[in-house]
Amino acid sequence: MKLELIQGDLTKVAADAIVNAANSSLLGGGGVDGAIHRAAGPELLAECRLLGGCPTGQAKLTKGYRLPARHVIHTVGPVWQGGTHSEEATLARCYKSVFAQVQAHGLRSVAFPSISTGRFGFPIDRAAPIAVREIRAAFARLPQLEKVTVVLFSPWDLEAYQRALSAAPGENV
């Protein structure tokens, strides 16, 4: 069991699933969502159209089409509103919902972006500890889970996650 932090492009990662930081329409957007749709091809949008959107904090699974990943788990993170609208609890729910899909589909490897910390404005120093905590909890719960990778786009984002990891040392790392 292994949690790995890397800097790079999530759309290049071969895993059982990559996670999309989507919006509730599930019909694409900018950021990592746009990059995933571009790399997966139009079949991904066609499948997403059948899903009827996704509420904030929940997650839905599709195929990966032209991506190296076999599946995409789309989740909708909270928009940061200053921290007074249960944004931290909602972000934690995104991770739990993603891992519920991982469990339901028997997946062994999953790669995440930093959900909500781009367009949605969630401060990365507050998001990273939540991600680390929820990923560790999933390792403890799911015997099938072998590898979780968090793919950070910038060196600064990578450093924020490394800080969160070293502030809370634990197993499976």
Residue 30 makes contact with ligand AR6 by CB under 6 A: yes
Piece of the chain touching ligand AR6 by CB under 6 A; list 42-50, 83-91, 93-101, 110-118:
110-118
Smallest distance from ligand AR6 to CB 30, Å: 4
Judged by CB under 6 A, the residue of 117, 130, 139, 158 near ligand AR6 is 117
Residue 64 makes contact with ligand AR6 by CB under 6 A: no
**Residue 10, both tokens:** 């999530």
- Using CA atoms, how far apart are residues 153 and 47, in angstroms rounded to an integer? 26
Q: How far is CA 66 from CA 14, 18, 32, 72, in A?
A: 11, 13, 16, 11
At residue 39, the 3 state secondary structure works out as helix
Q: How many residues bind ligand AR6 (CB under 6 A)?
A: 24
- With CA atoms as reference, report the closest residue to 85 among 57, 51, 48, 65: 57
- With contact defined as beta carbons under 8 Å apart, do 4 and 30 qualify? no
State the greatest distance between any 2 C-alpha atoms of the chain, in Å, as a whole number.
42
Smallest distance from ligand AR6 to CB 98, Å: 13
Residue 80 makes contact with ligand AR6 by CB under 6 A: no
Of 16, 33, 125, 157, which residue is the catalytic one?
33
Active site residue 33: yes
| Residue among 35 and 100 whose Cβ is closer to ligand AR6 | 35
Smallest distance from ligand AR6 to CB 41, Å: 15
Residue 35 makes contact with ligand AR6 by CB under 6 A: yes
∠134-140-141 over CA atoms, to 5°? 90
- With CA atoms as reference, report the closest residue to 108 among 153, 134, 139, 130: 139
Residue 53 makes contact with ligand AR6 by CB under 6 A: no
State the catalytic residues.
33
Which parts of this chain interact with ligand AR6 (CB under 6 A)? 9-11, 21-23, 29-33, 35, 77, 113-120, 151, 153, 157
